[in-house]
Amino acid sequence: MNPNRVLVLYDSKSGNTAKMANLVAEGAQRITGTEVRIRSIEEAKPEDVFWCDGLAVGSPTNLGLMSWRMKKFWDEVMCEHWMKLDGKIACAFSSAGAWGGGMEMACQSILTVLINFGFLTFGVTDYAAKGVTLHYGAVALREPREDSTQAACRLLGQRLAEWTAVFAHGRKEEHPDRKMGERMPAG
């Protein structure tokens, strides 16, 4: 079996998004045959992005958007690789200081940049726990402390690895529709 390759790329100034990144990585590892790389924005290289079948990009919510460090990575490090990354699968996650502080908009700002690079982006329709979903990506209030927030982060990574298994490796049995019994369709 070819390895299913997932990159979790994150920025984190005070550690909250980094904790989310570890949970997203755990979720991706639920899918058999998945190799996961976790890279902070300081250590990430274009080679990491080329390596993966799918990537999860996480940033603290800064003024309702991704951090300037994450934007700089795509503006300055990855820009010369534009038109060479189309078709990889991607998703977003963000930690914010307050509910209503713009964490979903920050996810959307990440997805906007990823769409510009030709990534195939997605949201998750399932509920991770009662009253908790991740339609635009996984979100957390500061650090991912609650079980439900942790479940959302893991589900994001799992769904990313499922989609890469299906679309990059033809592993149809990993399609979420085939696992309906394990999914939580309503909160």
Ligand X SMILES: Cc1cc2nc3c(=O)[nH]c(=O)nc-3n(C[C@H](O)[C@H](O)[C@H](O)COP(=O)(O)O)c2cc1C
Residue 72 interacts with ligand X (CB under 6 A)?
A: no
Choosing from 34, 95, 109, 164, the residue that interacts with ligand X (CB under 6 A) is 95
Q: At its nearest, how many Å lie between ligand X and the CB of residue 6?
A: 20
* HEC assignment per residue over the chain: CCCEEEEEEECCCCCHHHHHHHHHHHHHCCCCCEEEEEEECCCCCHHHHHHCCEEEEEEECECCECCHHHHHHHHHHCHHHCCCCCCCEEEEEEEECCCCCCHHHHHHHHHHHHHHCCCEECCEEEEEECCEEECCCEEEECCCCCHHHHHHHHHHHHHHHHHHHHHHHCCHHHCHHHHHHHCCCCC
Among the residue ranges 14-22, 26-34, 72-80, 116-124, the one whose residues contact ligand X (CB under 6 A): 14-22
Residues in 120-179 that interact with ligand X by CB under 6 A: 142
Residue 17 or 158 having the CB closest to ligand X: 17
Q: Applying CB under 6 A, which residues contact ligand X?
A: 12-17, 60-64, 95-98, 101-102, 142
